Structure 1
Amino acid sequence: MLTALSIRDVVLIERLDLVFAPGLTVLTGETGAGKSILLDALGLALGARAEAGLVRNGATQATVTAEFDLPKTHPARALLAEQDITPSDDTLVVRRTLGSDGRSRAFIDDQPVGVGLLKKLGASLIEVHGQFDAHALFDSETHREILDAHGRLTGDVANVANAWGAWKEARDAHQKAKTDADRARAHEQELRDHLETLTALAPKDGEAAKLMAQRATLQHHDLLVQALQAAEAELVGARGAQPAIERARRGLDRAADKVGAPLDSARQALDRAQAELDEAIGALHTIGASLDPADASLEKVDDRLHDLKTHARRHGVEPDALPALVERLQRELALVEGGGAAIDKLAKAEQVARAAYVDAATSLSAKRAAAAKKLDKAVAAELPPLKLEKARFATELDLLPESDWGPNGRERAVFAVATNPGQKLGPLAKIASGGELARFLLALKVVLAGVGSARTLVFDEVDAGVGGATADAVGERLNRLAEQAQVLVVTHSPQVAARGAIHLRVEKGGKTKVATNVVTLDDTGRREEVARMLSGAVVTDEARAQAKRLMNT
């Protein structure tokens, strides 16, 4: 939910701070007062295209900051987590600066981010609906997802996706086995020759690395022997460390017979030293035994390494990868010699997985068809009060060819409309006029309330071109939406304005320079503004009385 909006130096707005609340907020004002500037500023904060013309004349930079209440379960948090951004609490702050040179910068919780991320985040926070907005409902790619959410088919879609994954895995395994078998048959003799040579070589896992270490040891054999002998002499010789520790311990033992406890810690330390010394001497003996070149010579090690490296280069692998190469060649020959039994088994597994997918997708298709009928009926019920009684709305489900099947099922969902009798159903954006389009979107949003992550909805003159009962129907539906989401509406309709829980009046004024300001109206101010919208420049008592009746209703 949008909780605050701060605007600095945007077009005619020098400084403006607004606070928002849940429910229905209406924005009214004379034509040209600057209502569209507010929406442009909000759009700038949410990643809309930045144009230098938005910077107030005489200012060097425009800044817009929007603050949102962001529950722990909001989907926007997953998007932020992908970018290693974690809001510190339930409040999220986005900010956009725009220089007079047209360059802009974006921030999320004071962390600099790309405008692309800001735009994605904005789409999950706020939906803007107007007569000419490029809205997500225009994109048929979103219609299936909307239908599934409306029909509560998320679990069914997940089942289809799992079945699709299993089928794809089985199909890939089958295809790979066939490809490997075809290649093996084409090069069967070559495979046999390679396998025979490598089997005779008998490479072992990690053998090359071990030989390299052994080679280094053999190259410095004499140096190591001398070092070991010198170390052992220092430790166990007549004047070495081991006899010295033994002598010290005997001396302390004799004294301990007389003084006792004061020498215990020293005696224990000598015991530990003796144990460590014994371990070191044992390690020297072990190393010395391993240096015996009786079973291995530098020449033999070099010859073995040369053979491994030669065969590795021939097959384009590392020496330590030769054992795995042997296993792969054996598998490929097994495909040839097995007479296709393994491939038949994989083909059967693919058929079983495909059948499971088809079953899950068929079930989902039936549920989608039922959900589409309910959606069409619900939207149809909303159209007559919105002066669209001759219009038709239909959710079309088109079966896809098998090559286009996927984790979301086997059909494409498309929202189609016709605004006049006898007219062919067509895409929403191409069939409806500006005013009709806005009201269609309102009808859809009322029916689809709760679908989507955005909990703030902005309607820009959704009531344009209508009045009387139709305008009242628009207001009633906006009010219903506001029970489930925060709704902001820019309106010229007194019937809509009268329903606002919060009423913001946009005014243009200033003695020395023109500026846009926004005033939050109290009950008296609301009544006066609705009366002005009813009567025009001169507000009459009759208009005030009618405004009061509208607000009470």
Structure 2
Amino acid sequence: MLRELRIRNFAVIESVTVAFGPGLNVLTGETGAGKSMLIDAILLVRGARAQTDVIRTDAETATVEAIFDVETRGPVANVLDEAGLTLEDGQLVVRRELARGGRHRAFVNDSAVTVALLERLGDYLVEVHGQHEHQRLLDPARQLELLDRFADAEDLRERVASLVGKYRAARDAVERTRAAARDRAQREDLLRFQLSELDGARLRPGEEDELRQERRRAQHAERLLAGLVEAAALLVDDEASAAARVHRAARLLTDLGRLDPAFTGPVEALDAAAVQVDEALARVRALRDAVSLDPGRLEAIDERLDVLTRLRRKYGDTEAVMLAFRDEVAAELDRVARHEEILAAQERLLAELQAELAEAAGALSDRRRAAGERLGPQAERELRALGMERAVFRIALECCVLEEVSPRGLDRAEFRLSTNPGEELRPLARVASGGELSSHRSSRRSRRAVRCSV
């Protein structure tokens, strides 16, 4: 029960505290007095979206606080327990704080919470009805939802909805696998050709770059070879070579060092230079040996580059990409080859989900039928208390086949009403006037209050 509502700087309201008593409370006032603002404030603590334009013009923040009396055991307490909150002395304080900067906050018993939690609590704390709200009773989907709430079957309904999603996904997978079987042979031929072509190419990452570098060398082989031979000669091959001159200078300074030790200082540097000359010579000779004057090698390089270019156009820009594509082809070929095995596994999963869904949906239907048998007489008693002495109310359930199951289950609910003796039961939408719908809604809310203990 809503016991007190405190509002500050909300729309046209500067500050107000409204206390509610047991039973019916009526708020009256002229148009524009702010009655609808109270409803908007209640919706806000119920989890409605916060807008900064509801903050009073001369204020930076707005606050709405609602105090409820609730039972320490029941759906509200269960929601709080799931959120790690406690309910003491049956008092629940819900507060929304709005700021012009957009940093809105929500609290339950002074603990910061999410708006999603307020929405969950709001389903049990407050119902807000517009003047045409009773027309929702005419919707069969809404009627089934109300029956499930009366039957306390929301958890079972959620399980059925989850299983329906899994069942449909498994069924679609089986259908796709079966459809793929029709062109499986053609696809398998293509995959085998691609795998054979890629494996036959013996791809190696970086090979194309190496070949293009070797091709440039082969194109200028004579010039490169002549230059490398000359470089080697300058380094070592005659008395005027760099190596010979370094060695002669080192020997000369060593001899002079016998006369004056100061002359041996550069010898160490010359020895290091000799080592570097030897290393450079080794590299020059390696490059010289790598240069080929064989015209056949250039032709072989061009042929290999043509193969790589053709494969690159079909399978990827680099050897690494082509090798990755090759692995994908091999994996798909394995799946195609194991088509029957995969299909059998998918069909087993589908059968298991179908059996599980049939059991859960059947249990939901049984609970609905049992609840419908209880709800009819209870509704009639409530309608009699509202002056409809001869009213007869029943709930008809139509069950579909499992292949047509929806997230709501196998059933379609229809509320049927007879308001006068001798009249047959007809769907609520065909026989109920606006007043009768309002009366029926009042009786339904009364039953819900008893069931939810709120």
State the TM-score, normalized to the length of structure 2: 0.55
Q: Is the radius of gyration larger for structure 1 or structure 2? A: 2
Give the deviation of 1:17 after TM superposition.
Answer: 1.2
Return 5+ residue gaps in structure 1 as ranges. Answer: 79-89, 99-104, 111-115, 219-291, 294-298, 453-483, 486-553
Alpha-carbon separation, structure 2, partners of 1:191 and 1:304 = 23
Alpha-carbon separation, structure 2, partners of 1:432 and 1:128 = 22
**Number of aligned positions between the proteins:** 336
- Pair 72,374 (structure 1): closer, same or farther in 2 beyond 3 Å: closer
- The equivalent of 1:329 in structure 2 is 332
Please report the RMSD computed on the Cα atoms of aligned residues, expressed in angstroms.
5.4
1:413 alignment partner, SS class: strand
Decide whether the 8 Å contact of 1:195 with 1:329 is kept in 2.
Answer: no
- The equivalent of 2:440 in structure 1 is 440
Which of 62, 65, 68 aligns to 1:67? It is: 65
Determine if the alignment matches structure 1 residue 6 to structure 2 residue 7: yes
Alpha-carbon separation, structure 2, partners of 1:431 and 1:96 = 46
- The equivalent of 1:27 in structure 2 is 25
The letter for the 2-side match of 1:191 is: L
Decide whether the 8 Å contact of 1:170 with 1:346 is kept in 2.
Answer: yes
- The equivalent of 1:425 in structure 2 is 426
1:355 alignment partner, SS class: helix
Show the 5 A alignment for 1:514-525: none
Alpha-carbon separation, structure 2, partners of 1:167 and 1:9 = 49
Decide whether the 8 Å contact of 1:195 with 1:326 is kept in 2.
Answer: yes
Return 5+ residue gaps in structure 2 as ranges. Answer: 69-75, 84-91, 108-114, 215-285, 288-297
Show the 5 A alignment for 1:111-126: 124=123, 125-126=125-126
- Pair 447,326 (structure 1): closer, same or farther in 2 beyond 3 Å: same
- The equivalent of 1:43 in structure 2 is 39
Q: Give CA deviations for 1:19-55 in whole Å, capped at 9, x if unaligned.
A: 446x6253347xx6349966522333327999xxx99
Show the 5 A alignment for 1:152-231: 152-157=152-157, 159-161=159-161, 163-201=163-201
Decide whether the 8 Å contact of 1:93 with 1:109 is kept in 2.
Answer: yes
Determine if the alignment matches structure 1 residue 143 to structure 2 residue 143: yes
Alpha-carbon separation, structure 2, partners of 1:20 and 1:399 = 48
Alpha-carbon separation, structure 2, partners of 1:126 and 1:305 = 76
Alpha-carbon separation, structure 2, partners of 1:122 and 1:94 = 14
Determine if the alignment matches structure 1 residue 390 to structure 2 residue 390: yes
- Pair 142,311 (structure 1): closer, same or farther in 2 beyond 3 Å: farther
Show the 5 A alignment for 1:283-294: none
Give the deviation of 1:171 after TM superposition.
Answer: 1.9
- Pair 73,364 (structure 1): closer, same or farther in 2 beyond 3 Å: closer
The letter for the 1-side match of 2:7 is: S
Determine if the alignment matches structure 1 residue 18 to structure 2 residue 17: yes
State the TM-score, normalized to the length of structure 1: 0.47
Decide whether the 8 Å contact of 1:372 with 1:395 is kept in 2.
Answer: yes
Decide whether the 8 Å contact of 1:309 with 1:319 is kept in 2.
Answer: no
- The equivalent of 1:356 in structure 2 is 356
- Pair 211,133 (structure 1): closer, same or farther in 2 beyond 3 Å: farther
- The equivalent of 2:95 in structure 1 is 93
Give the deviation of 1:183 after TM superposition.
Answer: 3.3
Q: Greater relative contact order: 1 or 2 (C-alpha under 8 angstroms, separation 6 or more)?
A: 1
Give the deviation of 1:401 after TM superposition.
Answer: 5.5
Give the deviation of 1:166 after TM superposition.
Answer: 4.7
Decide whether the 8 Å contact of 1:312 with 1:322 is kept in 2.
Answer: no
1:128 alignment partner, SS class: coil
Alpha-carbon separation, structure 1, partners of 2:370 and 2:402 = 23
Determine if the alignment matches structure 1 residue 347 to structure 2 residue 350: no
- Pair 136,372 (structure 1): closer, same or farther in 2 beyond 3 Å: same
- Pair 171,309 (structure 1): closer, same or farther in 2 beyond 3 Å: farther
Alpha-carbon separation, structure 2, partners of 1:420 and 1:55 = 52
Give the deviation of 1:376 after TM superposition.
Answer: 1.5
Higher helix share: 2
Alpha-carbon separation, structure 1, partners of 2:438 and 2:364 = 31
Alpha-carbon separation, structure 2, partners of 1:108 and 1:419 = 49
Q: Give CA deviations for 1:286-310 in whole Å, capped at 9, x if unaligned.
A: xxxxxx99xxxxx99xx99997896
Give the deviation of 1:331 after TM superposition.
Answer: 2.8
- The equivalent of 2:369 in structure 1 is 369
Higher strand share: 1
Alpha-carbon separation, structure 2, partners of 1:72 and 1:24 = 21
Alpha-carbon separation, structure 2, partners of 1:20 and 1:312 = 79
Decide whether the 8 Å contact of 1:41 with 1:64 is kept in 2.
Answer: no
